[in-house]
Amino acid sequence: MTPERKQRIIDTARARQPDLTVFMERVHKPHNLAAVLRTCDAVGIMHAHAVPAEHGLPTLNNTAQGAQRWVGLSRHADSVSGIRALREHGFSCHAAHFSERAVDFRRLDYTRPTAIVLGTEKFGVSDEALALCDGEIIIPMHGMTQSLNVSVACALILYEAERQRSLAGMYDANRSNESPWKELIEQWIARDLARRKTPLPEHPETAA
Amino acid sequence: MTPERKQRIIDTARARQPDLTVFMERVHKPHNLAAVLRTCDAVGIMHAHAVPAEHGLPTLNNTAQGAQRWVGLSRHADSVSGIRALREHGFSCHAAHFSERAVDFRRLDYTRPTAIVLGTEKFGVSDEALALCDGEIIIPMHGMTQSLNVSVACALILYEAERQRSLAGMYDANRSNESPWKELIEQWIARDLARRKTPLPEHPETAA
């Protein structure tokens, strides 16, 4: 491992935001899961959450660009137990869902511990998930179609969080010696070293 | 056609932004084209532009939610002629592309006539397109992967334009009797009436 690669891993790990996450209900399409995980990596999410669909989580291919190696993904048996666990860990849970009480996604304070709950491609956020959420957020739309693609909606919300957290200096903190960053850095370096010993013919990260 | 439907069509049409658009170079994947067109519809783009890939434009299915009926799509033989034409129509062209001179996507003034140039999924924006663009814009990333999904990047940029244009009151204008809104309203109403006379078993708009 080059010193540049090691430093990049350390810098990326210490910009991770353990108090920002997404909770995906039964995402079906591999390209949607791939796009969500790439965005999670880009905004520094340490750990994402999902309830697998009936046939399990979609299989990721190169379109994920290896994001699954840098973003942890916890599977939950159902939305109720998953969202309850997030709330017990101090997360405020907000569903990307249109309703009378929904607020514009740009009005939420994302510098607080926040989990964004995303529904399925077809049916949106489930009633049992909504019942456990602190609120609902909507993205303003000026068109004739009813909704945005789920990975697009997720990205718009997460990048509003990124904007607020950047302004608050939350990506600048030097936390290499604190938990959970210390453990994350050790884990990433060890895994990257092990992986590079047996290079794959097609490296997801080098695919454009 | 109910009076509510007619009014919705009129309101949507007059919020259209003829001076905001996207230019897609050889987009390959149907789900990416579908997601881009849904976002175009949502931010009020009147007309999008594309250079088809070798085998033509991807075929859209229900995931586009019928957005292709509300967003015009012009095909261009190549990027050079397409971007030149946009420039001749007064558009400032900005490529979603990383470079030394690229600026943060939130720093651009999108209230001016703006076209966002998007590259292919695999290779990004072509050199010949870059040579014709006024500038390059990047989205800040804090992760290990190199890029975002193309429809995600497109949405982030277009929703920054939406934010700026909303603040500037550009969606509120009452322009039903002006060109090109007048023609658009007439065209949409006529087409919607014709379409509803022969209802399809699976209506794209009612799919969630």
B22 pLDDT above the threshold of 90: yes
Q: How far apart are CA B24 and CA B30, in angstroms?
A: 13
Surface of B (38-97) touching A: CB under 8 A: 38-44, 63, 65-67, 69-71
Q: Find chain A residues with C-beta within 8 A of B71's C-beta.
A: 143
Give the one of A66, A139, A142 whose C-beta lies nearest to B12's C-beta: A142
CA distance B105 to B35: 20
- Mutate one of B149, B167, B170, B189 to test the A interface: name it (highest A CB count within 10 A): B149
Give me the residue from A31, A43, A142 closest to B142, CB to CB. Answer: A43
Chain CA centroid to CA A27, Å: 13
ipTM: 0.91
Which chain B residues contact residue A43 at CB under 8 A?
142-143
Task: List the alpha helices (DSSP H) in A109-207.
Answer: 127-132, 150-167, 181-197
User: How many cross-chain Cβ pairs, A to B, lie less than 8 Å apart?
Assistant: 151
Q: Is A189 on the interface with B (CB under 8 A)?
A: no
Q: Is B204 helix (H, G, I), strand (E, B) or coil?
A: helix
A149-170 pLDDT, tens digit each: 999 999 999 999 999 999 999 9
Nearest to A42 among B66, B143, B162 (CB): B143
B208 touches chain A (CB under 8 A): yes
| Contact criterion met (CB < 8 Å) for A70 and B31 | no
Reply yes or no: is the peptide bond before residue B180 cis, omega within 30 of 0: yes
- Which tens digit of pLDDT belongs to each residue from B158-170? 999 999 999 999 9
Residue B27 tokens read as 């987009």
pLDDT at B207 over 70: no
Please, are residues A50 and A24 in contact by the beta-carbon 8 Å criterion? yes
Q: Mark the ranges of chain A whose per-residue pLDDT is less than 70.
A: 198-208
Residues of A in contact with B42 (CB under 8 A): 139, 141-143, 145, 148
Q: Rounded to a whole number, what is the distance in Å from the CA of B59 to chain A's nearest CA? A: 17
Considering chain B, what percentage of its residues have pLDDT values greater than 90?
Answer: 73
- Mind telling me how many Å the CA of A139 is from chain B's nearest CA? 9
pLDDT in tens, B84-111: 999 999 999 999 998 889 999 999 999 9
Which residues are bridge partners to B17 per DSSP? Answer: B45
Q: What pLDDT, in 10s, does the model give residues A2-37? A: 999 999 999 999 999 999 999 999 988 888 999 999
Amino acid code (one letter) for B142: H
Structure confidence by residue, pLDDT tens digits, B6-15: 999 999 999 9
CA atoms within 13 A on the CB side of A91: 26
Judge whether residue B208 has pLDDT over 70: no
